Amino acid sequence: MTPMAKRDDYISWDEYFMGIALLSAKRSKDPNRPSLILRRAGDQCLWDIAKAAGSTMEAIRKANGLSGEPAPEQMLLIPVS
């Protein structure tokens, strides 16, 4: 059995937790405007994410400062109604 090579196509724990902290800080403090934090799967488009989360592409773009599609594996703040 050949040993597995160490993967290098993932973010570090530090990057992960800092991303969660930054997105958590951006979350709405208004209990009437809940939000989610999600990580984009590599093949998901913004429309699919918005539809699945009960949000809109415009709301997600605004909450995350996006002008187009998010990067693969990007963590996103998802405003929901």
| In contact, 79 and 52? CB cutoff 8 Å | no
53-71 pLDDT per residue, tens: 888 999 989 888 999 998 8
Give me the pLDDT at residue 58, please: 92
Flag whether pLDDT at 36 surpasses 80. Answer: no
Q: Identify the weakest region by mean pLDDT among 5-14, 39-48, 63-72.
A: 5-14
Of residues 1 and 67, more confidence is placed in 67
Q: Which domains does the chain show, CATH number per domain? A: 30-79 (3.10.350)
Q: Name the pTM for this structure.
A: 0.60
**Nearest CA to 65 among 52, 74, 53?**
74
Cα three-residue angle 76-78-81, rounded to 5 degrees: 180
